[in-house]
């Protein structure tokens, strides 16, 4: 599975403190031990004049610290998303097919950026629902099918992101209940994701399966997310990045929306499932 990081702040930043310097930075999370290495690529996205700038590498981030530092030194943005990848493989494909740059997250389209941690166990069924958006799928990463399903709903049906997420989860279960697949217990392990439209940062914590504990502090379920907020910035991530008591749990079924209003970070958390 993967690790997620989302950041929104009043002042433009490169978030280096949280991505490299902190005790449990995203970089640190990439190689806690041999069992939990996130070896299958990494990517970072930020905004310049409301347009996403995305950098991806298919290599392990723990071998590319200097490259990450060079990129961070060029970033000054109010919104930053970063993803480190441990590839899922629900279709049992040859692993080399999954380790290309096209499979690396973030995925992005127009002003939207998306990162996901989990496995969509029936990606071909999702693709079959994409219509004209099917041609947009460029990788064999099951997470990309999730992204384009959401984009399709946002653009064609003009619904909001929470409604699109609810629709996707319902579709997965309806399809799952109509077919007979014995390889998996559920149509997905987790829908945990962070999304931005250049103005807001959204995060959803939604998972079916318990899969161990958090990597660094080992004090919460693996798929349970968390956030740290004040009036100047908000971080949402797969797990705590330091051991301060400012971190709060983003619980299963909860949806976070953060934005800047009157030079202050304002956020809300709704239970949408």
Residue ranges of domains in the chain: 3-271
Q: What is the mean pLDDT of residues 181-191?
A: 87
Report the 3 state secondary structure along the chain. CCEEEEEEEEEEECCHHHHHHCCCCHHHHCCCCCCCCCCCCEEEEEEECCEEEEEEECCCHHHCHHHHHHHHCCCCEEEEEEEECCCCCCCCCCHHHHCCHHHCCCEEECCEEEEEECCECCHHHHHCCCHHHHHHCCCCCHHHHHHHHHHHHHHHCCCCHHHHHHHHHHHHHHHHHHCCCCCCCCCECECEEEEECCCEEEEEECECCCCCECCCCCCCECCCEEEEECCCEEEEECCCCCCCCCCEEECCCEEEEEEEECCEEEEEEEECC
Residue 107 has pLDDT above 80, yes or no: yes
Q: Which of 84-88, 178-182, 220-224, 225-229 has the lowest mean pLDDT?
A: 178-182
* Single pTM value for the model: 0.97
Q: How confident is the model at residue 220 (pLDDT cuts 50, 70, 90)?
A: very high
Please report the pLDDT score of residue 273 as a whole number: 92
pLDDT top residue among 52 and 181: 52
With 80 as the cut, is the pLDDT of residue 183 above it? Answer: no
Mean local confidence (pLDDT), 52-71? 97
Per-residue pLDDT, 35: 85
Q: Domain 3-271: what homologous superfamily?
A: Aminohydrolase, N-terminal nucleophile (Ntn) domain (3.60.20.10)
pLDDT, tens digit (0-9, with 9 covering 90-100), for 225-236: 999 999 999 999
Whether the per-residue pLDDT at 210 is higher than 90: the answer is no
Which pLDDT does position 21 carry in this prediction? Answer: 95
């Amino acid at each position: 599975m993967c690790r997620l990081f989302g950041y929104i702040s009043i002042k433009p930043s490169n978030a280096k403190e949280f991505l490299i310097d902190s005790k449990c930075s995203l970089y640190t999370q990439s190689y806690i031990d041999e069992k939990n290495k996130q070896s299958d690529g990494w990517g970072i996205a930020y905004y310049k004049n409301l347009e996403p700038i995305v950098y991806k590498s298919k290599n392990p981030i723990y071998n590319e610290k200097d490259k990450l530092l060079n990129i961070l030194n060029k970033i000054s943005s109010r919104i930053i998303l970063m993803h480190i990848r441990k590839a899922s493989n629900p279709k049992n494909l040859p692993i080399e097919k999954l380790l290309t740059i096209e499979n690396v997250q973030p995925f992005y389209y127009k002003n939207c950026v998306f990162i996901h941690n989990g496995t969509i166990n029936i990606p071909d069924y999702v693709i079959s629902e994409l219509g004209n958006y099917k041609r947009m799928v460029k990788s064999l990463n099951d997470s990309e099918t999730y992204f384009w399903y959401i984009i399709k709903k946002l653009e064609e049906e003009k619904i909001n992101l929470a409604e699109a997420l609810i629709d996707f989860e319902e579709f997965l279960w309806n399809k799952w209940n109509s077919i007979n697949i014995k390889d998996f217990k559920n149509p997905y392990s987790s829908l945990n994701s962070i999304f931005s439209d250049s103005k807001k940062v959204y995060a959803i914590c939604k998972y079916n399966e318990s899969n161990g504990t958090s990597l660094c502090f080992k004090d919460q379920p693996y798929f349970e997310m968390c956030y740290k907020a004040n009036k100047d910035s908000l971080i949402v991530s797969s797990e705590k990045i330091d051991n301060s008591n400012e971190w709060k749990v983003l619980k299963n079924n909860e949806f976070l929306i953060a934005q800047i209003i009157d030079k202050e970070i304002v956020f809300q958390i709704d239970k949408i499932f």
